[in-house]
Structure 1
Amino acid sequence: MLSLRNFWRRHRRKLFVTVGVLGSGYAMYKLYHAHKQRLFDLEREFEGGRATDELIKAQLQAHFGNIQRVADSITLPSSMHYLRSRISEELDHSPLIAKLEQGKGQPSTLTSLEKQQLWERLKILSFTSMVLSLWAMTLLSLYIRIQVNILGRHLYIDTARDLESSHLLEETDPFERHSQQEFLATADYLSGDGMNTLISDMQTAAAEVLKGKQLRDLLNTSQLHETIVQILDIFMSVGAPNHWVTYLMPENAISYKHQMATSSSVLLPDVTKLDQLLVETRAVLLSDDFSNVVTISLRTVVDALMDDFGLQLGGNSSRGIPLAKLLPRVAQMGPLLLEEPGSNRFIQIIRRLPEVEVFYTLLYANMPPS
């Protein structure tokens, strides 16, 4: 017992130090283990979140890709076919040509004044058909691409909002999907309700530019180019600023609600969602950036069309042709501009314009969430 006391007396400081060191070491070990476990939990949580993000991203890209494919393979071809049919029907110049040919074979059937009036109508109709086809093709292709980007942006926002609740894209509300379909269907508005006013205003612009041009006047490629640009400028500037937007799209979704209500075999659209999409689209169409894109696209298409016309003249762009002989070629340009999108080089030219590519990139990236 005495020896134990002596040992304690001689070594107690060392024992305290040893116990302190061991205790501190154990505490450090527990802290290190807890920290390591926390890092492991955070890493596992991060990996799980990253996997979820990758899944959502893949679904987002797949669905957005589907929207683009629908637009390129169904919406645009269908709308372009409808547009071609309406223009061909409303601006059919074959009756005028038939009367002129009849008068040529039977001079007594038409007076000189009647012939002159028929040629004047044919002149205005031919240019109206060609310039209207050029404008409508350009704006329709741009409009449908705007639709795709707006839908893609909404898809991105809705997906981000649903991350916490684990909603997948396959679970999208059928009403919302129906609103997307109805929104894409507004691409046919131009060929439907917007066409009559469009034709009237384009004819007015064409008549204004052509009133001083006689059938015997010689026109070369440069003069034809100038004539087309003048018609476009007058057409785009007449009336209120950006009045041409009314040809492209409806103001609201009420008409769609009425149409859907007449059929019990389909779901009623979410009018609020459809109205939201239309409001955003109209804001884009009225923007200065889009006006610049429209101007650049129209001028580029006119230039490309004149290249084709120059080739028809054997590459001699300075060679003049009497306006009367030029009209059949002008009339043939309309159907050329409205060819199927897959083989329509003018649509491809518009898509490859740097200004157009930048515009749609910024549109998708910067569309403000509602």
Structure 2
Amino acid sequence: MPASDLQSVAVLGATGSIGTSALDVIARHPGRLRASVLAAGRNVDALLALCRTHRPDHAAIADPDGHAALRDGLAAAGLPTRAHAGMDAITDLAAGNACQTVVAAIVGAAGLDSTLAAARAGKRLLLANKESLVLAGELLVAAARDGGACIVPVDSEHNAIFQCLDGRGSANHAEDVRRIVLTASGGPFRGRSREQLADVTPAQAIAHPKWSMGPKISVDSATLMNKGLEVIEAHHLFDMPGARIDVLVHPQSLVHSLVEFIDGSTLAQLGLPDMRTALAVGFGWPRRMESGVGGLDLLTHGRLEFEAPDTAAFPCLRLAFEALEAGGTAPATLNAANEVAVSSFLQGRIGFLSIPALVEDTLAALPAAPASSLDALREADARARDRATQLATRLTAP
């Protein structure tokens, strides 16, 4: 295949778990895919190691202080890769001619600008940055529509729905779908009562039983906030009201989501819990490509179980549905307060049960306002972080 036919890919968040999985898939298809841009947060050494393996045209480190080390490391390795630093540089690379496809896997609100820029530029956008949809879902969907971008969600649940809908846009399936059902593993504490969660440690919370993920998203899975954020994402991705989005706990993590249609049919997507499947769907759609993931042997895995989520023990899921119903800036407030709460928990400053308490208090203190612009959403995000930080300080005060 001529080099011009290669799909050039920017992997934003290249040193994280999703970035690593994306690069694994890319490496399996040297005739179809090439990592042309690699971007990371602060870990220059890890980024340099990836550059030596994948030889991108561009490498970017979000921390401006890492520019010299990145530049010198690339030169020492004899690589022609150009060094960049700062979030503005990453955003420019995502929107520019250096790539056709963008894997948006920067964690947190920091990934919003580059994701929006890729959508406006009409890229194929493999979306793994939850916050882009939670904070600014309407803006992102509109940007993708106006720019001609193709959004393929990489979260296994949304990717499953995407596949069940055959990749059709929301306007083409709304009349056919009765509801969508997101599945949740239940996290490491499934079945525990609220009282049994009081002494949970950060080490226990990040020990996910099925997925290999970063600390923040692992804690979100343990509180079920991750599933709550996915409900909000699904609303935007598939133009589905919250009343037609359900959640089922499925501890085997083999059924990734389901779509129920008006004729009584229900389609489900099944597969082993490996992010490479969803990434391969994103790179290849509407074709399929090898991902490195084996097939699913149902005889080996045995029974599939489903149960209702326990929102008394894990109230973050309820809070997310309430924020979606409130609309406007409420989801941005929810997300920002949760980021502060999870960070405080991982630092040992607050307890596990204080995470939903802090989020709920922040939502109550900052009623929803119209989400009329990105500036309004950023202001809501900043206000929520300030409020949540104050609450976290009170909780840790002697």
Q: TM-score, normalised by structure 1?
A: 0.25
Q: Which has the larger radius of gyration?
A: 1
The structure whose residues are more often strand, as a share, is 2
The structure whose residues are more often helix, as a share, is 1
Which structure has more relative contact order (CA 8 Å, sep 6+)? It is 1
Q: TM-score, normalised by structure 2?
A: 0.24
